[in-house]
Structure 1
Amino acid sequence: MEKKEKQLLSETDICDLFITPAIEAAKWDRFRQIRREVTLTPGPVVVRGNLSSRNKKLRKFADYVLYWQSGVPIAIVEAKDNKHGVSDGMQQALGYAEILDVPSAFSSNGDAFASHDKTATSETPIESEFGLKSFPSPEELWRRYKIHRNIKPDEVPVVTQPYHIDAGGKEPRYYQVEAINRVTEAVAKGQNRLLLVMATGTGKTYTTFQIIWRLWKSGQAKRVLYLADRNILVDQTLVNDFKPFGTVMAKVGDRKIDPAYEIHLALYQALTGPNPSDKAFKSVSPDFFDLIVVDECHRGSADDDAAWREILEYFSSAIQLGMTATPKETTEISNAKYFGETVYKYSLKQGIEDGFLAPYKVIRIDIDRDIDGWTPPPGMTDDLGEEIERREYNQRDMDRILVLNKRTKLVADRVMKFLRATDPMSKTIIFCEDVDHAERMRKAIVNAAGDLARDNSKYVMRITGDSTEGKAELDRFIDPEEPYPVIATTSQLLTTGVDAKTCKLIVLDRTINSMTMFKQIIGRGTRIDEENNKYFFTIMDFKKATELFRDPDFDGDPVVIYEPTPDDPILPPDPDSEDDENEDEEEDVQGVKKIRVSGVDVKIKAERIEFLGPDGKLVTESYKEFARKQIKSEYRSLNDFIRKWNNSDRKQVIIDELEEHGIILANLAEEVGREIGDFDLLCHVAYDQPPLTRKERATNVKKRNYFAKYKDSARAVLEALLDKYADEGVSTIEQAKILRLRPFSEIGTPTEIINGVFGGKADYEKAIRELENQIYKRATNE
């Protein structure tokens, strides 16, 4: 094929005609080893106001991922059209290779391949170019991969054990693949204490399942124990992610381990207790289990009775994997010192940047009595008639020591005001100081909700450890298909282990000093649920808890500050831990008599809204401000933008480009004005130009008598298109399917209009471009 002819081909054509055949010629299996157009990350969700959109410009999209026979990714190939050079895609390919931690990256424009080999020695070049007929074989790239990952021959059977692929075709995401591979490779090397850190909402349980599946299938772990400390965690795991284990799996019950099963799921409480007869784990030999997974190990490590430590000590010969979103490191306890250094970490920040986790906006609300403090007048009594100690009560005292009933009402009213303005059926969790506070908040929400609570008594429920009725509603609260309960008031019960996918509002009316607890609470909202239109969540903070977002430890690596002695190889208990609780128990603040006062007025002193910025920090910025920055990053000046707009045959192309940056014009119009056309909207927001409405631009075209040069039928079509523009915008008139609708259908079919009225597709499209030029003529003149 001639070079000029080749340069007219699209990137897809180059792939189909040159790159794919060249890879297949090197003995790569098209169906099992070559995957095209692989989305590694979908791009982050941008939130401004009550609206959200994905910034697709930041998504990571590999043209080719090449796999070894077991489904292990081993190489990246980036394709470009023939107008580009051979190595123009190399930097992009290297970025994707970094994500997947593979040693081989290639770029091609259909003429040849450029190669980058991370395993290159001093005798071989790191980067080189070669012809299409010289692409490396699967065996060669697998050899490089084994060198890069330091995989020895005897480790290969474990490392290459295939993943489980379900009937729906669900496969692990890139970071899950990396987590699974890191663990299986470490196990293959003989490491028997491992720690895996993955943010809430990133699929820890699914990742755990794939790890167990591969180790079980490869024979590395014939009997497995999955340990958790809450029934809901075990039950969810049993029927969801672990379901493929089928009949070889059982939940440990009646304080007995049944050796007939291979995969065992258990509560700590079901395996051990204070009496020797309670220690069901001793019903099997110490070498019975080959692998033990400790779910939410940051909690288990701090239990007063350290139940899981007793179990792990007994099965000390087993491989032991700790799973957590928040590894606990204090002066007294350390996950890392027991399980070892983290094998792999995927953080909340990374999850949000990739677009797998929901970002958040924060509404910080300061209440005057919290910020300024409150000192009772001399001799003032509480609701029981007892004199109140005369001192200043501040934010930390509220609802722990001092109960101002009007403050509780104020918080409830503000929560309901937000929900009514957005969606009163949004799943909401309100974190309170204790059970008493959670019950008072439930009552206040009932009164603030009015008809919503009257129409359904389960609109708001207190879900705490001591409430049988509330805990019975927990499954319905987290079920996306169940509308009720909508609001849950709680203290600690919902901090961890609750997969509340559709939770859109988290209210913090609780003092939080523990970073572990804060991360767990925030994790209740981080899941994206596209089916239910949940892409972000809101945090309403009444207690300055979100100041912890500014702490470097929020998304940093835990620093080990506990050093065990030779006589203390297992983690000590942490009786003072703030963030641990028994599943069936949730206590009020102990030893403190609360002062309850009804007559003290309270009001909101200050309120501000912050959003997650591109650098991962909270910023105060409107959707309009965000759009201005994005537009100017693409078009530096007004003239640049007008030139691109006027030279574009289809304005929708520009609109699509801006959407890649996360700018949805419908969202922008909600904030600026729905009647303003796309062009004026963008010029106004980015360059402060006075906008015209679509109707004003359409009227200007009609005043010029522009349509006089067209015959009756063509004139009728163009006038109708102008009216459609005035009503719906420029994108509408650029779509030929508009001709199927009235009034066009009264003139003829789309084919009759395009060919009969305008003389063909080219002339019809020319008429549309001329109409658009007339619509934006003022912009051209300016």
Structure 2
Amino acid sequence: MPGGRDEAGTRADLIDPALRRANWEEAQINREFWVGDGQIVDAGGIAYRSSRLRADYVLEREPGFPIAVIEAKRENEPAATGVEQAKRYARGLALPFAYATNGHEIREIDMLAGTETVVSAFPAPEQLWQRFLDAKGLDNELAMKFRRAPFSQALVNYDGTIKRPRYYQKAAVDEALTAIAAGQRRILLTLATGTGKTFVAYLLAAKLWDTQWPRGHDRPRVLYLADRNILVDQPKDEYFIPGFGDEAVCKLSEGRAVMSRHFYFALYQSLDQTRADDALFLQYDSDFFDLIIVDECHRGSAGADSAWREILDHFEPAVQVGMTATPVDDSTRSTYEYFGDPVYTYSLGDGIRDGYLAPYRVRKIQLNVDITGWKPELGQLDRYGREIPDKVYGRKEYERLLAITERTEEAARALTEHLRSTDPMSKTIVFCENIDHAARMREALTNLNADLAGPNHDYVFRITSHDGSAGLAMLSTFRKVDTERPVIAITSRLLNTGVDIPTVRNIVLFRIIGSVPEFKQIIGRGTRLFEEDGKLAFDIIDFTDATKHFSRPDFDGVPLGRPTVSVTNTQGHLVDIDLPDPDAHYVPEEVPAGSVEHAVTLNAPAAGPDAGLTVTDPQQAARIRQSRERYYVDGVEVFVFNDSLYILNAGTQELRLTEYRQWVGEQVRRLDLTPTNLRAQWARAVTRRKLAQAFRDAGIGTEQVYRHFGHADVDEVDLLLNLAYNTALVTRSERVTRVRHEHKTFLAGFAEEAREILEILLDKYEQSGIEELSAMALRTPAFAGMGGVVSLAGRFGGGDKLHDAIDSLTARLYDIAN
């Protein structure tokens, strides 16, 4: 056929017959297998879902048992263009074989061998099945028993519907069970924060429960192990008790050994409180547990010499499944050394592309003292009369060795400004350097937002290890999806990991984050979706350049290079400068929260005439390092040096640094329309809708543009043209005045009763904007009492003439712009 068949025709005329020739039955062919919910795209502050991805074909041994995936391309498109997409589907579904075809050429991808081969035909079902069994190690009875066991449907969602696993959760469970069936006793599952690791743990335990593993006549005994109460209480209360019943579940504490349950939840600390021969874990035989689930396994048990490793070593006969979003592998700790390579991985990038995780915008706010450093006057005393050691202090020392009051206050002011310009009631977590810093940040934010305190004074709260039960009670309320208050949670490290707060819309980084795993965990506090409340994206407000971790090769999300920032020089022109890296010499230390130990770096970068003035006396350096004091300084001039916006590209998953005015103008110019053509399209309702969609697809949101640049009295297209082509700003009031003055003849050409309607529409346009120039506006209260839409259209001679009149009026509004 001319030009070749499209994809639908290629599938119907070429690929379907090829599958039938290979003896695939219709029941074995799952067409348009949906993968994900559709990536969320951020359009300048307004997020919406794009179309869902789908695998064209999933070949199944039996319903619900996929063994291969096929990506179809149109007939005249090379089959090779579908290879990467086919591989992505195969990775997500944990399938060893994938195919890409245009109906003539078939490319087979062997995911285990890493090969790509052109084949003459699809393999027959039995042939592919045997290859699948060999590749997946499913050639034993137990493996097939696990695979065929249905997934639990005992849990329900908040709306009463059955909680069903997503495709990657099924794959993770199946891969773990395949490893268990093969005799593997150390298993690692790596799933991004917010993708449902706890549900995966439950589904895994449920399949083992239903198959009566490992003895075949009894239920398994499972230990769920973590290092924080919230990490064991949530799965216990929200998953395992509803799924298995209260009688099957218990939490171990107070040194009391319970032997009669099937699911045991415990903290490392509770199992080894005494560090002696009567430790609670030693009261259990080493083979008492069949399965141990280690949540956030990158933490306490990752070090070979960790005291908590003794617990896992004691229960060595059990299958141990480690679960984490952030495996560690450094000189002192290695998740991989103990658990091995992951049997399944689902990354942050995967979750964002599938639409299961929220994308993010990054706003980097740099304070002047963080860029230039700060040096005391010779002999300067701090707030408490102590002489401040003479050196240049930088970001890595702030709040560890020296605290500048105004630095915290300016950050609080910048954050308040951000919230007031977006939504002051959007839930926010602020990560500070230590407990003391969190207290001062709470005070600053409280004072700046006194008008939002509310009757219970609960707009801002601190949650640290020092805040006890009162802080935990506030955190419990903050976590709930149906509460508006409290709004801002200030913490140091307590909320780094393991806390699900789906409604969080802002993550504020005001402390140095030394490692990629910790950075991922913190960012993960915001990646959970909550569509019921419109939370589809979130903001990262970065005061400490922590988002530089996006550029690290071991970060599985989006890459980000060292930024070049546009600033205004003394002549008023934008120039690019490379900012110094205040942390270039910073080596992260594992220090207790609040400690300033190891905070001094002798070669801190500096700027200006005092550059290079650093502590070189070894004795003084030693005194600073050993000091447990923190110097407090008041009266320092602190201001925002630079405020940068990073936009997440939906296609490339890259964060791009941009000056927002420049970026918006560039997106408008990419539409390749002259100002005249843009106005012409804007003037007609049909083309205006398409143009508005093009703006959204480019990431330009009306609310965001007005929020950044103001001019609420200017029409959207005029504001965008000003940003793109520097055209004059014409207010809506000016447009209306000029239409009434210069197009009197046009208006006078209508009967008085029709002209009345046009005059009202002009008034509404002047007040509210272009959307008022439509037939739909006739349904608003302004026309109440004048008759229905049909009656009003009759004043023009019918609906078509009404639409023509409105389009003609709109054209005259935009025909007169400068």
Please indicate the TM-score interval, normalised by the length of the shorter structure: 0.7 to 0.9
Instruction: Count how many residue pairs are aligned between Structure 1 and Structure 2.
Output: 727
**In 2, are the aligned partners of 1:41 and 1:61 still within 8 Å (CA)?**
no
State yes or no: 1:152 paired with 2:153.
Answer: no
Q: Which moved more, 1:480-489 or 1:145-154?
A: 145-154
Q: Secondary structure at the match of 1:553?
A: coil
Per-residue deviation, residues 526-582 of structure 1 (Å, max 9, x unmatched) = 33333344444444444444443443334489xxxxxxxxxxxxxxxxxx995587x
Amino acid at match of 1:162: P
Per-residue deviation, residues 589-611 of structure 1 (Å, max 9, x unmatched) = 46524254455423226132231
Amino acid at match of 2:460: V
Q: Secondary structure at the match of 2:36?
A: strand
**In 2, are the aligned partners of 1:272 and 1:280 still within 8 Å (CA)?**
yes
The correspondence of residues 213-612 of structure 1 with structure 2, limited to 5 A, is 213-220=206-213, 222-242=220-240, 243-247=242-246, 248-256=248-256, 258-276=258-276, 278-302=278-302, 306-355=306-355, 356-368=357-369, 371-378=372-379, 380-453=380-453, 455-468=455-468, 469-555=470-556, 578=589, 588-589=595-596, 592-604=627-639, 606-612=641-647
Contiguous gaps of at least 5 residues in structure 2:
215-219, 559-586, 598-625
Question: Which residue of structure 1 aligns with residue 696 of structure 2?
Answer: 659
Q: 1:261 to 1:510 in 2, by over 3 A?
A: same
**In 2, are the aligned partners of 1:435 and 1:588 still within 8 Å (CA)?**
no
**Structure 1 residue 202: Cα displacement:** 2.5
**In 2, are the aligned partners of 1:291 and 1:320 still within 8 Å (CA)?**
yes
Q: 1:91 to 1:104 in 2, by over 3 A?
A: same
Question: Which residue of structure 2 aligns with residue 183 of structure 1?
Answer: 176
Question: Which residue of structure 1 aligns with residue 807 of structure 2?
Answer: 772
Q: Which moved more, 1:600-609 or 1:692-701?
A: 692-701
Per-residue deviation, residues 109-156 of structure 1 (Å, max 9, x unmatched) = xxx99976657999x964779xxxxxx999898678657756436433
Question: Which residue of structure 1 aligns with residue 89 of structure 2?
Answer: 99
Q: Which moved more, 1:254-263 or 1:324-333?
A: 254-263
- Partners of 1:149 and 1:725 in 2: how far apart? 65
Amino acid at match of 1:195: L
**In 1, are the aligned partners of 2:754 and 2:795 still within 8 Å (CA)?**
no
Question: Which residue of structure 2 aligns with residue 196 of structure 1?
Answer: 189
1:53 counterpart (47, 51, 55): 47
Q: Secondary structure at the match of 2:505?
A: strand
**In 2, are the aligned partners of 1:195 and 1:322 still within 8 Å (CA)?**
yes
**In 1, are the aligned partners of 2:302 and 2:338 still within 8 Å (CA)?**
no
- Partners of 1:753 and 1:11 in 2: how far apart? 46
- Partners of 2:300 and 2:232 in 1: how far apart? 14
Report the aligned-residue RMSD: 4.8
- Partners of 2:545 and 2:84 in 1: how far apart? 42
Q: 1:382 to 1:342 in 2, by over 3 A?
A: same
- Partners of 1:715 and 1:140 in 2: how far apart? 76
- Partners of 2:496 and 2:276 in 1: how far apart? 32
**In 2, are the aligned partners of 1:429 and 1:490 still within 8 Å (CA)?**
yes
Per-residue deviation, residues 189-224 of structure 1 (Å, max 9, x unmatched) = 333222222232232222322333334334445332
**Structure 1 residue 227: Cα displacement:** 0.9
- Partners of 2:716 and 2:395 in 1: how far apart? 47
Q: 1:727 to 1:43 in 2, by over 3 A?
A: farther
**Structure 1 residue 295: Cα displacement:** 0.8
Amino acid at match of 1:287: D
**Structure 1 residue 710: Cα displacement:** 5.8
Q: 1:251 to 1:139 in 2, by over 3 A?
A: farther
Per-residue deviation, residues 679-721 of structure 1 (Å, max 9, x unmatched) = 5455555555556555555666661644666666666666655
The correspondence of residues 11-22 of structure 1 with structure 2, limited to 5 A, is none
- Partners of 1:689 and 1:445 in 2: how far apart? 40
Per-residue deviation, residues 356-409 of structure 1 (Å, max 9, x unmatched) = 13413133322437733313423x444444444444444333332234444444
**In 2, are the aligned partners of 1:93 and 1:105 still within 8 Å (CA)?**
yes
Q: Secondary structure at the match of 2:255?
A: coil
Amino acid at match of 2:434: D
Q: Which moved more, 1:264-273 or 1:707-716?
A: 707-716
**In 2, are the aligned partners of 1:363 and 1:538 still within 8 Å (CA)?**
no
2:149 counterpart (150, 153, 161): 161
**In 2, are the aligned partners of 1:159 and 1:188 still within 8 Å (CA)?**
no
Percent same amino acid at aligned positions? 33
Q: 1:634 to 1:387 in 2, by over 3 A?
A: closer
- Partners of 2:278 and 2:295 in 1: how far apart? 22
Amino acid at match of 2:657: T
- Partners of 1:404 and 1:679 in 2: how far apart? 45
Q: 1:693 to 1:394 in 2, by over 3 A?
A: closer
**Structure 1 residue 463: Cα displacement:** 2.0
Per-residue deviation, residues 440-475 of structure 1 (Å, max 9, x unmatched) = 443444444434458434433332223323244332
The correspondence of residues 67-106 of structure 1 with structure 2, limited to 5 A, is 71-73=64-66, 95=85, 98-101=88-91, 103=97
Q: 1:180 to 1:304 in 2, by over 3 A?
A: closer
Q: Which moved more, 1:39-48 or 1:485-494?
A: 39-48
**Structure 1 residue 234: Cα displacement:** 0.7
Q: 1:332 to 1:77 in 2, by over 3 A?
A: closer
**In 2, are the aligned partners of 1:55 and 1:662 still within 8 Å (CA)?**
no
The correspondence of residues 709-720 of structure 1 with structure 2, limited to 5 A, is none
**In 1, are the aligned partners of 2:732 and 2:765 still within 8 Å (CA)?**
yes
- Partners of 1:727 and 1:493 in 2: how far apart? 49
**In 2, are the aligned partners of 1:104 and 1:117 still within 8 Å (CA)?**
yes
Q: 1:231 to 1:780 in 2, by over 3 A?
A: same
**In 2, are the aligned partners of 1:367 and 1:542 still within 8 Å (CA)?**
no
- Partners of 2:80 and 2:756 in 1: how far apart? 53
Q: 1:176 to 1:675 in 2, by over 3 A?
A: farther
**In 2, are the aligned partners of 1:508 and 1:542 still within 8 Å (CA)?**
yes
**Structure 1 residue 228: Cα displacement:** 0.7
**In 2, are the aligned partners of 1:428 and 1:506 still within 8 Å (CA)?**
yes
**In 2, are the aligned partners of 1:94 and 1:105 still within 8 Å (CA)?**
no
Amino acid at match of 2:189: L
Amino acid at match of 1:481: D
Q: Secondary structure at the match of 1:620?
A: strand
State yes or no: 1:40 paired with 2:27.
Answer: no
Amino acid at match of 1:152: D
- Partners of 2:797 and 2:168 in 1: how far apart? 54
TM-score (norm 2): 0.74
